[in-house]
Amino acid sequence: MRKKIKDKIDRRGGPATRGVTVVYGKDVSIMVKQLLIDTEAIDRIRPQSVVVIKPNLVVSRAQWKGVNTDPAAVEALIEILKRFGVSQITVADGSGMGYSATKAFEICGYSAMAKRYGLRLVDLERDRFVKIPVRLDGPFESLEIAQTVLECDFLINMPVMKAHTFTSITCSLKNLKGVMPRSLKTKFHSVDLNRAIAQLNSIVTPHLILVDGMQGDLSSETGYTPVRMERLLMGTNPVEVDSVVADMLGYVPRSIPHLDYSAAGGLGNCDLEKISVQDLNLPVQGKYFHPQVEYTKRFQCRISAEGACCTCLGNLLFALERLKEQRLLTKEQFFFIGQNPGKIPVEKALKIAVGKCAANRYEADIEIPSCPPSAGNIYRRVISALGKASKSSGQSA
């Protein structure tokens, strides 16, 4: 058995580097098809493959949206796998502290899904574990990895892109923590967590990464400040994927320590200029702005966002969060975004047009005319205009 696992790890030979594909929309089922079928990514999976899907099931509670991977995205993937003749499919994860993947399977609808599609569900905390020597320097010599994950032919990592209390962001690199026993997951928090994450990714490499960016969270991995972002990302290299996600959430990738260590250890490239990003479409335009969190209380500045796409607005909110961390927001700043941002104030205010729609319609002091501008792009333009340099987000003017 050990030889079989070793062969599989060796055969993977490190992550592939094929860039990152992004699709925007509201219907995950259509979006997963666009990513897998339109790009022919599905051709990489052979019908006889044993496929393991590793979602993020960090919580087992009713309020899991924007925290756990959207089960509708997982189901869309399973439907495609089935259609292409793949029959040996397992959905596997171990939950966060104080939660249970077994319960999450029930609450998030995986148990019913398993009956519909003939899936195997594995709570990885109950799996058998194999000790594997790590390939990067750090706190561990070896790590215990779930046998189900090691033995599969094709591992699909399906994280959620969101903020994290200790690591700033969490996405594909950090999502792999779920493949270890609980005792080891706990131990990660008493050592250098960022180096430990890089070490883990030196021995577990997904074949495909599908990021759920439909709804994330502004400040925590376990929720309560949800932000709709309406996008999915696909890639094969976790460092590349997480670097693009870091930019979408307003960070310079190298400022995220676990990303930096992983890149320095040769697991992938975190230089955005060297990562090929392909957008399959444009964000979906909205007519009205429905706040999901109390933005007016959270951010000191003023925001007008009628007719903004959720994607664009989500990026703006992450940029505002970064600016807030730097104490750079003031009530004299007026951010407007979307098709119909309304009346622009004539009184003294720093007018900031976010996105092509707003920049085309109104003259502003700062214009960020991309569609959609990433949070990193918005952040950089604002601090550049304010003549500031930021340290904690690793951004400079």
Query: Per CB under 6 A, which region of 85-93, 178-186, 263-271, 349-357 contacts ligand SF4?
Result: 349-357
351 binds ligand SF4 (CB under 6 A): no
Instruction: Tally the residues of the chain.
Output: 397
In angstroms, what CA-CA distances link 311 with 127, 189, 372? Answer: 38, 32, 7
CA 79 to CA 238: how far, in whole Å? 24
For ligand SF4, give the closer residue by CB, 166 or 288: 288
- CA 36/CA 306 separation, integer angstroms: 33
CB 358 within 8 Å of CB 341: yes
Scanning residues 268 to 327, which ones bind ligand SF4 (CB under 6 A)? 283, 285, 308-309, 311-312
DSSP structural state of residue 358: H
Cβ atoms of 307 and 367 within 8 Å: the answer is no
53 sits in which H/E element: strand 50-55
Contact 167, 193 (CB under 8 A): yes
Asked if 375 interacts with ligand SF4 (CB under 6 A), we say no
Q: What is the DSSP letter of 167?
A: T
Give per-residue burial for 223-260: e unless 16+ CB within 10 Å, then b.
Answer: bebbbbbbbbbbbbbbbbbbbbbbbbbbbbbbbbbbbb
Residue closer to ligand SF4, measured from CB, 196 or 303:
303
Instruction: Give the nearer residue to ligand SF4 in terms of CB position, either 208 or 357.
Output: 357
Q: How far is the CB of 309 from ligand SF4 (least distance, A)?
A: 3
Please tell me whether the peptide bond between 181 and the residue prior to it is cis, using omega within 30 degrees of 0: no
Select 138 or 314, whichever has its Cβ closest to ligand SF4: 314
Q: Are strands 277-279 and 302-304 parallel, antiparallel or unpaired?
A: unpaired
Regarding 383 and contact with ligand SF4 (CB under 6 A), the answer is no
Structure tokens at 391: 């340290």
Q: Which is nearer to ligand SF4, 285 or 384 (CB)?
A: 285
372: number of Cβ within 10 Å = 31
How many residues belong to the site for ligand SF4 (CB under 6 A)?
A: 13
Nearer to ligand SF4, 264 or 280 (CB): 280
- Work out how close the CB of 282 gets to ligand SF4 at its nearest, in angstroms, rounded to a whole number: 6
Member of 78, 210, 259, 357 binding ligand SF4 (CB under 6 A): 357
Residue closer to ligand SF4, measured from CB, 106 or 306: 306
Cα separation, 288 vs 277, whole angstroms = 29
Residue span binding ligand SF4 (CB under 6 A) among the ranges 118-126, 196-204, 253-261, 353-361: 353-361
Q: Could you give the CA distance from residue 238 to residue 286 in angstroms, rounded to a whole number?
A: 31
Residue from 355, 364, 377, 378 binding ligand SF4 (CB under 6 A) = 355
Please, which residue, 347 or 363, has the CB nearer to ligand SF4? 363
Closest approach of Cβ 308 to ligand SF4, in Å?
5
CB of 11 to ligand SF4, least distance (A): 41
When binding is defined by CB under 6 A, the residue of 356, 361, 386, 388 that contacts ligand SF4 is 356
Residue 341, interface with ligand SF4 (CB under 6 A)?
no
Least distance (Å) between residue 234 CB and ligand SF4: 20
Residues at the site binding ligand SF4, with contacts judged by CB under 6 A? 283, 285, 308-309, 311-312, 337-338, 355-357, 371-372
